[in-house]
Amino acid sequence: MFRVRLPYGRRPESILVKLTDYGGMTGWGEIVEPPSGHPGLDKTWTILAESLAPSLIGVDWEHPDDLVAPYVVPGSLADGLAGPGLDAGGFAVPGSQVSGSGVPGSLAGGSAVPGSLAGGSAVPGSLAGGSAVPGSLVGGSAVTGSLVGGSAVDMACWDLWARMQGVPLAHAIGGTRTSLTATVRIGAERSLESLVSRVNRHVCGGYAHVTLDVSPGWDVEPLRAVRLAYPGLAISVDAQAAYTPAQLDQLAAFDAYGITTLERPFIPGDHSAHADLQERIAAAVVVEVHSLQEIAELTTAHAARALLLRPADFASLYEVRQVHDRAVAAGWDIVCAGGQGTGLARAATVAVASLPGCTLPCDVTQPPKAAQIVTPPVGASGGVVAVPFTQPGLGHLVDEDRLRRLARDSFRV
């Protein structure tokens, strides 16, 4: 494990997890420092070093979902509404012990795949020695919470498993796209002229879609200026939960400028306000969720028509796919987002964005490609993000020499 902060401006810190099997094959995962107001990475580092990392040694598993699918993550998979191998609605989860079948689009089923991590006993290609530690992703109990290192371990397990199978991660989790349309997020500027100039640079660079950050006092006028300058440009707006239900008329006015989506208009949890806004506008209201229970409540309330999905906010790709599937079942579109860190977390976001339900332009353009530690760098070129369908696993290599030079701390089990 490594703790690293890339020397490119004010970048968040990351923890990188490396798993190595007996044959020397490796898998990588990353968890990025959460926004201010959330616990930092010190607690995550301690949990990884003292619990999660040791718990993986000696565990026999055939598929990454075996480590999390049978268990409910408190506060994440519906807080007890789901049973072992069941989703919140009581249906069998594909790839679980209940369904007995593989995850759609993956190579896993109810039995070991030749060359995979075989069940029953440790074999070359498995993680050897030791036993499971309670409270980890294995050993019969779940990780408490979603940002305590579980996502990095899960990502590394998926990367290792997919590399052993010789398949890209995007294909392994059910992805179908080979390229993604990207959006670029544009914050408030000093003036309308500066805003239009910035949009122009991205349009000239090949972007066909932009997302404008808006807030009370910086909303209608910037939107009008960009629309007048680019009548055919696809525009979304992100309100960043800066509005109240009393400002519904102000938000509804955005519809006159032909926006495609209106992201996060109100604080999370106010389902009725979101539903009222969605009834009034043609653009799809986009909500962000962090659990299967949230998406179930929002779809039931008809509170939106689209989902903002950040894979890094979940403890496992199993949960991410469950949320994706619930949104698709409700007829919602999905925008997949996540671009911080050293490049590994962004690569996983690209894999998730290749899922069939992720129909809206993805947001993986920040920070720039140079602020990464993987090759090839992850990001958009000409407004398009390539999905690595010719390389196994995440499809990117870690520059370990550079990583070791930049790491402020490291730990090995």
pLDDT tens per residue, range 59-114: 788 899 887 754 434 344 333 333 333 333 333 333 333 333 333 333 333 333 33
Please work out, in degrees rounded to the nearest 5, the angle formed at the alpha carbon of residue 113 by the alpha carbons of 108 and 117: 95
Residues 268 and 378 in one domain: yes
Q: What is the pLDDT of residues 109-166, one digit of tens each?
A: 333 333 333 333 333 334 433 333 333 343 333 333 334 578 899 999 999 999 999 9
**Judgement on whether residues 231 and 367 belong to the same structural domain of the protein:** yes
Q: Is residue 322 part of a domain?
A: yes
The dihedral built from the CA positions of residue 202, 208, 212 and 218, taken in this order, carries a sign that is positive
Whether residue 90 sits in one domain with residue 70: yes
- Are both 138 and 214 inside the same structural domain? no
Contact 320, 303 (CB under 8 A): no
Residue 64 lies in a domain: yes
Q: Which of 159, 174, 189 is the last residue of a domain?
A: 174
Q: Is pLDDT of 207 > 60?
A: yes
Give the pairing of strands 409-410 and 2-4.
antiparallel
CA angle 170, 12, 41 (to 5 degrees): 90
Number of domains making up the chain: 2
Of the chain, the percentage scoring pLDDT greater than 90 comes to 58
Does residue 298 share a domain with residue 197? yes
Q: Looking at residue 233, what is its pLDDT?
A: 97
Q: Is residue 163 part of a domain?
A: yes
Phi/psi for 111 (5° steps) reads -135, 170
Domain match, 219 and 169 both: no
Indicate if 6 and 23 belong to the same structural domain: yes
CATH code at 206?
3.20.20.120
The whole-angstrom separation of Cα 153 and Cα 102 is 21
Could you tell me the residue range of the domain that residue 373 belongs to?
Answer: 179-392
pTM of this prediction?
A: 0.81
Whether residues 194 and 133 fall in one domain: no
Tokens matching residue 25: 């094959």
Per residue in 298-335, pLDDT (tens digit) is 999 999 999 999 998 898 999 999 999 999 999 999 99
Distances 408 to 9, 22, 26, 370 between C-alpha atoms, Å: 17, 27, 22, 20
Same domain, 247 and 306: yes
Q: Are 62 and 100 in contact (CB under 8 A)?
A: no
Q: Residues 220, 228: contact at Cβ < 8 Å?
A: no
What distance in Å separates the CA atoms of residue 301 and residue 204, rounded to the nearest whole number?
A: 40
Residue 126 lies in a domain: yes
* Band (208; pLDDT cuts 50, 70, 90): very high
Distance of CA 40 to the CA centre of its chain: 19
| 226 and 362 belong to one structural domain | yes
